[in-house]
Amino acid sequence: MVQQALYRALVSTKWLAEAVRANKIGPELRVLDASWYEPGGRNAQKEFQERHIPGASFFDIEECKDKSSPYELMLPSEKHFAEYVGHLGISNQTHIVVYDGDHLGSFYAPRAWWMFRVFGHRTVSVLNGGFKNWVKEGHPVTSEFTRPEPAVFKASLNRSLLKTYEEILENTESKRFQMVDSRAEGRFKGTEPETGKEGLEPGHIPGCLNMPFFNFMTKEGFEKSPEEIQSIFEEKKVDLSKPLIATCRKGVTACHIALAAYLCGKPDVAVYDGSWSEWFRRAPPELRISEWNRKKG
């Protein structure tokens, strides 16, 4: 691991506020609001229209996905991703800062961060503390829309950061990779219902360890220090010098695991894009570990 060569995964609210004040938002620095909420709850697009960081564009994860997939938020093709982000004024030379408005401080932003990285873009950062702390600290917000000049973005899929169902299936036998699931313990064990689409029971992939993503964050919504994160991995006996796969329900909070490991100098955590949503529907019953049916009985 070459920690000194890693691009900064986090930028502070103070750093971004100074960039906004200095009118640096443009072709070389783009800000994206990647908020998303479960249907029936908050409306991410409406909230963005009402207030957002000046110069920010809305990164619609519902639009930037594989719409032909039966699973929830699978990666789009290279072509689709390149066209979508190019339309937001992002080129291969742009530094991108992503944030979201979740009450935790960060929820979907690490997914957008990982998406750029998996498509070969190195210069992308998460706003540490998110929109919640941006507002709390009194930084400016606006309802004005930014219409950036379209740019050319060339996407190149980095297969090493992405795992498929077939690869996870193989790993249940070979155990070449450590596997970590970022969901809450009850959903992981199968003692609490799974969120989201009907018919999806809780549980986990054999061999997975459970590391709920919110444990990497402070109660104020900031990422914990690399030292604190390292100790969380150590407590779970996850060896950051060895291959690691992150999973969750639909490939979103798994990206928090990838971000946390990156902050400890490990940039090569792979995410199982289909995660439990796909595994539950495709894997044989004996490869779905859950207390759910026992609980129901």
CA distance 65 to 29: 23
Buried b (16+ CB within 10 A) or exposed e, 83-119: bbbbebbbbbebbbbbbbbbeebbbbbbbbbbbbbbb
Q: How many CB atoms lie within 10 A of CB 182?
A: 27
CA distance 5 to 229: 20
Alpha helices in 175-274 (DSSP H): 185-189, 226-235, 254-263
Strands 270-272 and 10-11: unpaired
64 in active site: no
Q: 119 near 64, Cβ under 8 Å?
A: no
Q: Is the dihedral of CA 54, 60, 61, 66 positive or negative?
A: negative
Q: How many CB atoms lie within 10 A of CB 260?
A: 30
| Catalytic entry in 64, 208, 248, 255 | 248
Question: What residues are annotated to the active site?
Answer: 248
